[in-house]
């Protein structure tokens, strides 16, 4: 009797558990911290500084940083859509370009800021992608800690 009751209870709970599973999978937006951005030129590694809020350049000259884009494409278009968030002090500016390549390294597309940004910004960029493509954002940071990349938000 105990075995039959246990089996019945297990089947009932298992059935309800399966019924509660969602039918569709949805991607969520991904926020990639600016601290994931790294020096683009190897010899400039000591110039780039990492803060809890993002990445900046300490050298007196402008420096490039490259930021990986982590995403989980689910739409049929596979476009790469991001917002680059940052800040450039008065008299300074930041410019960035989003690049996309397929798994063979074939260039798929690029889009740059329409103009170098100053002050606090949240700039949208989009390029063609592929299910297996990879993407990155290349930014030119002003010198003397005059700007910071806070994050790159992926919209899926």
Mean per-residue pLDDT over the chain, rounded:
87
Residue 4 scores a pLDDT above 80:
no
Q: How much is the pLDDT for 61? A: 98
Residue 14 scores a pLDDT above 70:
no
* Integer-rounded Cα radius of gyration of the chain: 22
Residue 10 scores a pLDDT above 90:
no
Q: How much is the pLDDT for 129? A: 92
Model confidence at 74, pLDDT cuts 50, 70, 90, reads confident
Please, what are the domains in the chain?
Answer: 27-155 (2.60.120.260)
């Amino acid at each position: 009797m105990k075995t039959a009751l246990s089996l019945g209870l297990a089947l009932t709970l298992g059935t309800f558990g399966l019924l509660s599973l969602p039918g569709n999978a949805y991607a969520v937006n991904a926020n990639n911290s600016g601290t994931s951005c790294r020096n683009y030129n190897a010899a400039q590694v000591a110039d780039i500084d990492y803060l809890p809020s993002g990445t900046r350049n300490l050298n007196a000259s402008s420096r490039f940083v490259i930021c990986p884009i982590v995403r989980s494409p689910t739409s049929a278009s596979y476009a790469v859509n991001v917002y680059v968030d940052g800040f450039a002090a008065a008299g300074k500016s930041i410019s960035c370009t989003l690049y996309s390549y397929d798994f063979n390294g074939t260039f798929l597309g690029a889009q740059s800021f329409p103009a170098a940004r100053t002050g606090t910004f949240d700039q949208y960029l989009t390029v063609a992608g592929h299910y297996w493509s990879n993407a990155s954002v290349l930014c030119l940071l002003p010198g003397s800690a005059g700007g910071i990349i806070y994050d790159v938000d992926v919209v899926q």
